[in-house]
Structure 1
Amino acid sequence: MEIVISVTAKVAEYLVAPIIYPFTYCCTYKTNFEKLNNEVDKLKNARDSVQYKVDDSRIKGDGIQQHVEEWLIAANKEINEVEILIEDREFKQPLSKKAEREANAIVGLHEKGRFDSVSFRTIPEETWLKSTQDFMHFESRKSTLKEILDALSNRNFNMIGVYGMGGIGKTTLVKEVGRQAKENNLFEKVISSRVSQTPQIKEIQREIAEKLGLKIDEESETVRAWRLLEQLKKETKILIILDDIWGSLDLEAIGIPVADDNGGCKVLLTARSQDVLSCKMDCQQNFVVDVLNEKEAWSLFKKMTGDCIENGELKSVATEVVKECAGLPIAIVPVAKALKNKSLYEWRNALRQLKRPFLRSFSGTQAVAAYSTIELSYYQLEGEELRRTFLLIGYAFISCVKDVICYGMGLGLFQNINTLEEARDRAHTLVDKLKNSCLLLDGDTTISIASRVQHVFAVENETSWPDKDTLKVCTAISLFNTNISELPQGFECPQLKYFHIRNDPSLRISDNIFTGMTELRVLDFTEMHLLALPSSLGLLQNLQTLSLDFCILGDIAIIGDLKKLEILTLRGSDMEKLVEEMGELTQLRLLDLSYCFNLQVIPPNVISSLSRLEELYIGQSPIMWGKVGGVDGERRNASLDELNNLSKLTSLEILIQDEKTLPRDLSFFKMLQRYRISIGYDWWSVGPWDGISRKFKLKLTNGANICLNEGHIMQLKGIEDLTLDGLPDMKNVLCEPGREVFPKLNRLQIEHNGNLVRLVDTMDCTPAPTIAFPLLESLFLRDLRNLEEICCGPLTAESFSKLKTIRVEGCDKLKNVFPLVIELTQLRTLELKNVFPLVIEKCISECHFQATYMQNDDQCSSHVNINNMLENICREMDKTQMKRFYPIKLYVQ
């Protein structure tokens, strides 16, 4: 009976098993792959979230944690492997088991991706620590330099001083000391801070802490000093340079250790007086920086002017000129620049001016010589326009050319200028001339000249205020980081043309402040709290330029009264909506709303009313273009159609987050000379200014109604940087018969397009051949699943000839990078990610690498040996060709 049962059971097993097993397998197979799909989607979301944080941190200049970067690499690798696994299901049983293992691995990887922080603050190193270009290698300087380095090596000295008159070269010398001290491992860190005439303890603390990588947010100077002191005591070898000390400075109040047990911290000070160092700072050893001797002065002067001064009568005059410069580098350099290639009579005239007696508030013959020589260089400048620009940069504390344009236009500085584009060219030209004349080095002297020549009152870190008689003749007032709590009531400035207050949010401004300055043409309140603009602002009917950058703003409707206003900048200011009254500024030529991160609403018809507008900057402001709101359905925000009413618009920076709001009529594109246009991106992804003047980024999603065939993009003149993301209808980037394809383009990025077959197709173009991308240096192609080739058809030799970087990722059907007829002589970097080995073989061989190892088709079909194959390729490269393309980088993931 047991035998019968056993046999029966066995028969049942053979009969039932073939039926149950496939059913069980199918269920398990489906479950495993569903689980794998779910887990990889979760990992992708986690990966994208971490990547966004990483990208944002990099934009801010922060470093990225190494374990975060390693996790991103591992996540990308796992995602790529799983995608291959999901696509290849022919061998179901083993793949089902592998799917289960991969799903479990992804769960573990996902858990590891929960980071509290992805970045860390980077510690900036002084830029001058890596450069020697400013140091003058004269024997007198070399000996002093060596003596200072020896003193810093002495364990008995922890505070050393360097003194000499202004403009003698103290700062340059101590920077070279710091550079060599670090290079010779005397110190691990070298940091510097400029003290100036009126020391700002908090600012010095902030600068030193920042360069140490220490964050101090406390308001109390005492607490900040304690934090800084504790950190500096931990440093083993650090040199702190405090430049330009004018009097007693309490180092302990700053947080700098000065006791004998100060560890590895040493201090190097510079001052104009030995008494300051010896008596007020108790330096243990001081070194004087003297003027250049006669031979050194002549050598420096000759270097600036050239050998021409060795000839004939000019040499005797030049010798006298150098003598009047009194061995001061700050005098020698600008005078030499001013007189280079000038006629003999100009040299003689300059010499007479140098010898002319005058009264100044300076003491000492050398100080007088410094002032006199810079003043001479000022008078040697060609034309009133250049001289006024020089003074404006000095008393307005200008650090960028854009301010020269805005202030210069408001003051009527530029001659025979009709447009802002012309003003921009003129400003750059003038600034370059001043740089070449070495006249952007000494702000104090510039302000002194401006004070006498133009009755300018300009102060930094001061509490003083001019008397009434001075104000009546004053033409410009510039207050920078002042400690003035309140401006005088109703002060009279009938001649005032320029008024600037910067970085003083606590300053109280009366409502009638502008009553006595009706001739004002330029007004700049930067980093101020202005909950309501003074009502007397409406009296400024001659105002041309108004700047309210980085201010906290409340009611600004009064701006509408400024009928002659031509330039209005509100960069970085805190506001959510523009006022309708701004539409009354019909003379406005420039409107800057950059970095207004809270600005979302511009009332309808405001922009279209600004018919004279030439430049509009709203590139980082999240405007809700064309949105509809209200119970009556009335449009509450500006439409992009309004831009077509701006017939003079030549410069545009704009962010259009919703590509569906883009109008079909983009005729204003044709007029643009400078632009940075981002369509379909969020405001935070626009990125910082990178110096590119013509940039266009377009990202489309399903449902966007934009057609490239209408020539929208080609209406833009001279695109330098082009990003195309999406664009499902695009079959090739463009080819129009008889024309160049993007002749100015420097960078091209195309991604997420499943229909693109080739970038350039000239097969049917006549006349041929076509010039395609003659200036392109960087090409990035990503996720173009149907891309077969980059170019097809006849092209000229100039096409793609400047390419330096090629990055290809996720282009499965790409047959080769470029045909052999294209000479990539400038190629330096080739990055290939997520491509098949066959593509790698084509890419490398047709970039003129010798890749004999890759000619075997069996080896090319192997996924496992990609890295090994590339190593063999590099070994077998011809040395001449390797040198030609060095340093080539091959990335395969």
Structure 2
Amino acid sequence: MGKGKQFGYFCCYKSNFDHLTKEVEKLRERRESVQHRVDFAKENGEEIEQSVENWLISVDKIVEEAGKFVEDDEEANNPCFKGLCPNLKNRHQLSKKAAKEVKAIVELQDEGNFDRVSVRGISRDRLVAYTESYNEGHDFIESRESILNDILDALRGPYVSMIGVYGMAGIGKTTLVKEVARLAKEGRIFDEVVFAEVSQTPDLKRIRREIADQLGLNFCEESDSERIMMLCDRLKREKKILVILDDIWTSLDLERTGIPFGDVHRGCKILVTSRRRDVLVSEMHCQNNYCVSVLNKEEAWSLFSKVVGNCVEDPDLQTVAIQVANECGGLPIAILTVARTLRNKPLFVWKKALQELRFSARNFTGLEALLGSTIELIYNNLEGEELKLTFLLCSLMKHPCDAPIMDLLKYGTGLGLFEDIYTMQERRDRVYALVRGLKDNCLLHDDDTADWFSMLGFVRNVAISIASINLMVRNDALIEWPNKDMLKNCIAIFLHDINTGELPEGLEYPHLTSFCMNPKDPFLHIPDNFFADIAIIGNLKNLEILSLCCSDIEQLPREIGELTQLKLLDLSNCSKLKVIPPNVISSLSQLEELYLGNTSVEWEFEGLNLERNNASLQELSILSHLTTLEIHIRDAVILPKGLFSQKLARYKILVGDVWDWPGKSENTRTLKLKLPTNIYLDEIIMNLKEIEELYLDEVPGIENVLYELDRKGLPALKHLRAQNNPFILCIVDSMAQVRCNAFPVLESMFLHNLIHLEKICDGLLTAEFFSKLRIIKVRNCDKLKNIFSFSIVRGLPQLQILKVIKCNNMEEIFSFGGEDDVGYNEVDKIEFGQLRSLILKFLPQLTSFYAQLKSSDELDTPKPLFNERVVFPNLETLELYAINTERIWHNQPVAVSPGIRNLTRLIVHGSEKIKYLFPSSIVRNFVQLQHLEICHCTVLEEIVSKERGEEATATFVFPKVTYLKLCNLSELITFYPGIHTLEWPLLKRLEVYGCNKVKIFTSEFLSFPKNSEEIQRNIPTQQALFLVEKVGSHLEELKLSGKDITMIREGRLPTYLFQNLKILEVVNEKL
């Protein structure tokens, strides 16, 4: 080494040491930034990259070594030669080592520029079962976990838009994709996830309807083209949506289905399951395909033994048990069903089961044969012929993946399943019990839906195979009618979606008791004598159930009045039905259930000396056995007195022309009223027992909803909607009433356009009031000043959604009510533990979310919208529109920060008083935030305020934000008033315009002070909103003002920032 360089170490001793100190500080800052990202990733269950872990260790090591230089520097400054000169030898060594350390530190700084610090993993405790009923505490299935992670990773990526999952029937494809759906929605990969079963004979109309129902879309138009357009437009409105199409057998035309795909809607991704790989590859053109195969022997035995329990430890039984488990072929559903069936059974049952598994499969090959033998084993072990027949009957429904219990009731009656049960209600209860038994045996999907059931496809195939031996025939693809000998022993024939084109001349099957046909072709030719041997319908004197639902019948035959034994008449969804001849309904003296929903019957008023051409509503009151009624009476004027009997146990009654007939619902007792007068209101409410869903529109004369309608407190009511009523003053007035536990099971309350509503509740209520309330929506109630008082808030443990819009005198959402609110001052915080969504819009008088008593010295202090007592530990959505408070949050962030850690969507629009939005400590808790909008805040100067004791420089990381919109903020000067760095690693959509006082983009280091003096003196510094290096390269959409596009046009920004950009929009603010 040259002497000049060696001499340089002496001369540059101080500058080398200063340089080292500065670079160590930079490295510390870089480490802190990386550590923030690591902490966020760990909180979200992600796995940290090993390279990141190693880098953090290296940084800690080199920083520790650098600390020793301080001590060595002091030693180097110790004098030698009796104080005549400094210790030159030590200075030379330290200076040389400092120069080397600076080089190593700079290299570490560069290595710390990680694009990502983690990979998303699914922890074992979050991985749920992949087959129905897989909920008995067993560990995850490792072979399934890798597929699940691969699918989720592919869905996150920008290049894959269609993914396929294939495998044999019953292997667990459907359950796997449902778990993908759950994790995708939970992980915020998609805004919406919808699911539809396609099946072997796809019904595009049904598929559209299923998807539309999940999106809350109602089809009003009749034509297919209009429905396709409506569904397509609705799907396009979702920025990120996953469409799951289950059980595809052949190519599905996505365009004809109404699903936008590819360039039409890049945010729509499709996940498809099929039994055939070639369908996914050659016909659906899936980019990634994943095979779901059987479990290996170790996984299968582990699952089997855990379900069976300790009995497999018996040496005599264990040998047989291992053979039985092996016979299940690694199929999770087979393992579960067999294990449950044999649990706690003696050895001889195990041996018999082993024989059946090996030898009893029929009409199947390979693994399908194994499934057949497995299900047949369960079928043979069902208790009683009644349960077995119900199992076979379930497979014969047109859509057994989602079939109504009502169909089982109808067809079971036709097959003589309930010969010893007289009333329809008792039969219905029996059907519920039978379905429960099949679910317990894993032959039906076990869910919480009471009035619907679903059967897995492979179970259905096995059931049809069993049924076709000598009981029933079903064929989804019937091309030509079978010969007479083949059907002569059938007791029932169920034909769905047949394509024969023509039926035979007649039905001559002596044992036939049930015949069900749903032709796919609406123009199917039915010969005149096809039913020649069946007497006209009026001669079927013993007929108990008649269903003409969904038919095009326009007038009910008069002969139906002769069916005096009829117990159930279903005319629902006969939209063209207008005429029911007079006295036909009243002649059905044994009728128990009448379904007239979604019909167009023109009811006539029964008066003196008037000859009628149509039925009157008075005829219903004659039906003394009626227990179930579904009806829509559009003209309330013809409503007669005493129409609804107290015997009604199940009902869906709509009165008035404002209601649409509801679709699938779990509520069995629904009443929707629009009445010109309340003359019969008391009688209606009194007679209808245990109303679950109550809608009131323009019902005059009611001031107090609860006690004027039902002094018992509507104990069964789950959903209440009151709208368009100028008379209602309060919902509950307990001041002068006998107190009871009102609304003990109420789940949702919608109050709309009640212009004189002053209070929702008046008086002291018990803790049981509203204890189940989950949803509150209030709109256009101008006299309402608050929603509830403190005493009621304490009893809202289930509240999940709160939405208040356009209530011009609303002062606070929840208030301190004075005398009724005992113990208010003793409460440190008010926690809304289950609140997920809070939306407050256009409330000009609102000053506080939760009011509190103020001391005299606080009276002139502006109140924040959310004070220190309010905590939302699980809030996900917060939307504030035209809220005129000066502050949103208080200045004591420690208490509130846990309440926003789960926030994913935050919108602030139209504030005219707020000068800053968030304290800096609040922002650091936005670890889950994905969507941020701040618009039309006319005096907003900064988005994040600087707090006392804040560090000279600040870093704000938004690890999950994908959408950011800042528009029309005319006074905005800076994001944060101090020196700061913003990081947006996942930002995909950025909209900034109408912010003329702030620079939008700059490059790193350009906006920082050139010396540290300004930092030390804490001089406010105006920075651009975004350092391009901190935005990331994920931008897909960019919307800017014309003046802010200059840097892009002149090429002063790095090109990688726009490598994924798809949409660039320039706003002309002069227009």
The bucket for the TM-score relative to the shorter chain is 0.5 to 0.7
Choose between structure 1 and 2: higher helix proportion.
Answer: 1
Q: 1:374 Cα shift?
A: 1.2
Match of 2:410 in 1: 406
Match of 1:796 in 2: 766
**Are the structure 2 counterparts of residues 320 and 669 from structure 1 closer, same or farther at C-alpha, using a change threshold of 3 Å?**
same
Structure 2 CA distance, aligned partners of 1:202 and 1:687? 22
TM-score, normalising length: structure 2: 0.54
Structure 2 CA distance, aligned partners of 1:783 and 1:179? 37
Match of 1:321 in 2: 324
Match of 1:772 in 2: 742
Query: Secondary structure at the residue paired with 2:614?
Result: coil
Letter in 1 for 2:796: T
Higher relative contact order (CA 8 A, sep 6+): 1
Match of 2:757 in 1: 787
**Are the structure 2 counterparts of residues 772 and 142 from structure 1 closer, same or farther at C-alpha, using a change threshold of 3 Å?**
closer
Match of 2:649 in 1: 673
Match of 1:612 in 2: 590
Query: Is this contact kept in 2: 1:784–1:811, CA < 8 A?
Result: yes
Residues 266-297 of structure 1, C-alpha deviations (whole Å, 9 max, x = no match):
99998879999999999999997654322121
Do structure 1's residue 485 and structure 2's residue 487 form an aligned pair?
Answer: no
**Are the structure 2 counterparts of residues 513 and 287 from structure 1 closer, same or farther at C-alpha, using a change threshold of 3 Å?**
same
Structure 2 CA distance, aligned partners of 1:177 and 1:161? 12
Match of 2:679 in 1: 706
**Are the structure 2 counterparts of residues 144 and 675 from structure 1 closer, same or farther at C-alpha, using a change threshold of 3 Å?**
closer
Residues 602-639 of structure 1, C-alpha deviations (whole Å, 9 max, x = no match):
22211111111111111222322225899x95222222
Structure 2 CA distance, aligned partners of 1:312 and 1:585? 64
Structure 1 CA distance, aligned partners of 2:254 and 2:729? 69
Q: 1:302 Cα shift?
A: 3.3
Query: Secondary structure at the residue paired with 1:677?
Result: strand
Do structure 1's residue 648 and structure 2's residue 613 form an aligned pair?
Answer: no
Structure 2 CA distance, aligned partners of 1:577 and 1:715? 31
Match of 2:433 in 1: 429
Letter in 1 for 2:340: K
Structure 2 CA distance, aligned partners of 1:756 and 1:763? 16
Match of 2:108 in 1: none
Within a 5 Å distance, the mapping from 1:106-125 to structure 2 comes to none
Structure 2 CA distance, aligned partners of 1:188 and 1:762? 43
Query: Secondary structure at the residue paired with 2:426?
Result: helix
Residues 273-330 of structure 1, C-alpha deviations (whole Å, 9 max, x = no match):
9999999999999997654322121123235444554456544442232122233334
Unaligned runs of 5+ in 1: 1-129, 229-236, 256-263, 516-535, 539-557
**Are the structure 2 counterparts of residues 267 and 824 from structure 1 closer, same or farther at C-alpha, using a change threshold of 3 Å?**
closer
**Are the structure 2 counterparts of residues 513 and 796 from structure 1 closer, same or farther at C-alpha, using a change threshold of 3 Å?**
same
Structure 2 CA distance, aligned partners of 1:507 and 1:628? 41
Match of 2:130 in 1: 134
Structure 1 CA distance, aligned partners of 2:709 and 2:193? 61
Q: 2:613 aligns with which of 618, 621, 636?
A: 636
Letter in 2 for 1:770: C
Query: Secondary structure at the residue paired with 1:460?
Result: coil
| Greater shift in the superposed pair: 156-165 or 481-490 | 156-165
Match of 1:512 in 2: 529
**Are the structure 2 counterparts of residues 688 and 322 from structure 1 closer, same or farther at C-alpha, using a change threshold of 3 Å?**
same
Structure having the higher Rg: 2
Letter in 2 for 1:402: M
Structure 1 CA distance, aligned partners of 2:415 and 2:500? 26
Query: Secondary structure at the residue paired with 1:867?
Result: coil
Q: 2:553 aligns with which of 552, 575, 582?
A: 575
Structure 2 CA distance, aligned partners of 1:484 and 1:338? 41
Query: Is this contact kept in 2: 1:164–1:271, CA < 8 A?
Result: yes
Match of 2:238 in 1: none
TM-score, normalising length: structure 1: 0.63
Query: Secondary structure at the residue paired with 2:475?
Result: strand
Match of 1:522 in 2: none
Structure 2 CA distance, aligned partners of 1:777 and 1:797? 15
Within a 5 Å distance, the mapping from 1:442-591 to structure 2 comes to 442=458, 443-452=460-469, 454-502=470-518, 503-515=520-532, 536-538=533-535, 558-591=536-569
Structure 1 CA distance, aligned partners of 2:165 and 2:708? 68
**Are the structure 2 counterparts of residues 348 and 726 from structure 1 closer, same or farther at C-alpha, using a change threshold of 3 Å?**
same
Match of 1:393 in 2: 394
| Greater shift in the superposed pair: 735-744 or 791-800 | 735-744
Query: Secondary structure at the residue paired with 2:390?
Result: helix
Residues 111-163 of structure 1, C-alpha deviations (whole Å, 9 max, x = no match):
xxxxxxxxxxxxxxxxxxx9975379645556788999999999999999988
Q: 1:706 Cα shift?
A: 1.5
Query: Is this contact kept in 2: 1:628–1:636, CA < 8 A?
Result: no
Letter in 2 for 1:685: D
Query: Is this contact kept in 1: 2:160–2:287, CA < 8 A?
Result: yes
Do structure 1's residue 835 and structure 2's residue 807 form an aligned pair?
Answer: yes
Structure 2 CA distance, aligned partners of 1:181 and 1:884? 22
Query: Is this contact kept in 1: 2:199–2:246, CA < 8 A?
Result: no
Two-structure CA RMSD over aligned residues (Å):
5.7
**Are the structure 2 counterparts of residues 891 and 800 from structure 1 closer, same or farther at C-alpha, using a change threshold of 3 Å?**
farther
Q: 1:457 Cα shift?
A: 1.8
Q: 1:537 Cα shift?
A: 3.7
Letter in 2 for 1:474: C
Structure 2 CA distance, aligned partners of 1:609 and 1:378? 43
Work out the number of aligned pairs and report it. 687
**Are the structure 2 counterparts of residues 279 and 597 from structure 1 closer, same or farther at C-alpha, using a change threshold of 3 Å?**
closer
Letter in 2 for 1:401: I
Unaligned runs of 5+ in 2: 1-125, 135-139, 233-240, 258-265, 444-454, 822-829, 831-849, 864-879, 911-1071
Structure 1 CA distance, aligned partners of 2:198 and 2:304? 30
Q: 1:360 aligns with which of 362, 365, 370?
A: 362
Q: 1:204 Cα shift?
A: 13
Q: 1:650 Cα shift?
A: 1.0
Q: 1:465 Cα shift?
A: 3.5
Q: 1:718 Cα shift?
A: 0.7
Do structure 1's residue 302 and structure 2's residue 275 form an aligned pair?
Answer: no
Structure 2 CA distance, aligned partners of 1:251 and 1:378? 38
Structure 2 CA distance, aligned partners of 1:705 and 1:267? 52
Letter in 1 for 2:495: L
Q: 1:416 Cα shift?
A: 3.8
Structure 1 CA distance, aligned partners of 2:600 and 2:434? 35
Query: Is this contact kept in 2: 1:754–1:786, CA < 8 A?
Result: yes
Choose between structure 1 and 2: higher strand proportion.
Answer: 2
Match of 1:551 in 2: none
Q: 2:720 aligns with which of 725, 748, 754?
A: 748
Query: Secondary structure at the residue paired with 1:501?
Result: strand
Match of 1:417 in 2: 421
Query: Is this contact kept in 1: 2:148–2:176, CA < 8 A?
Result: yes
- Percent of residue pairs bearing the same amino acid type: 44
Query: Is this contact kept in 2: 1:732–1:758, CA < 8 A?
Result: yes
| Greater shift in the superposed pair: 269-278 or 636-645 | 269-278
Query: Is this contact kept in 1: 2:716–2:745, CA < 8 A?
Result: yes
Q: 1:382 Cα shift?
A: 1.8
Query: Secondary structure at the residue paired with 2:883?
Result: helix
**Are the structure 2 counterparts of residues 740 and 575 from structure 1 closer, same or farther at C-alpha, using a change threshold of 3 Å?**
same
Structure 2 CA distance, aligned partners of 1:147 and 1:881? 35
Query: Secondary structure at the residue paired with 2:751?
Result: strand
| Greater shift in the superposed pair: 324-333 or 730-739 | 730-739
Query: Is this contact kept in 2: 1:812–1:836, CA < 8 A?
Result: yes
Letter in 2 for 1:754: P
Query: Secondary structure at the residue paired with 1:868?
Result: coil
Within a 5 Å distance, the mapping from 1:863-874 to structure 2 comes to 867-869=883-885, 871-872=887-888
**Are the structure 2 counterparts of residues 336 and 603 from structure 1 closer, same or farther at C-alpha, using a change threshold of 3 Å?**
same
Within a 5 Å distance, the mapping from 1:8-47 to structure 2 comes to none
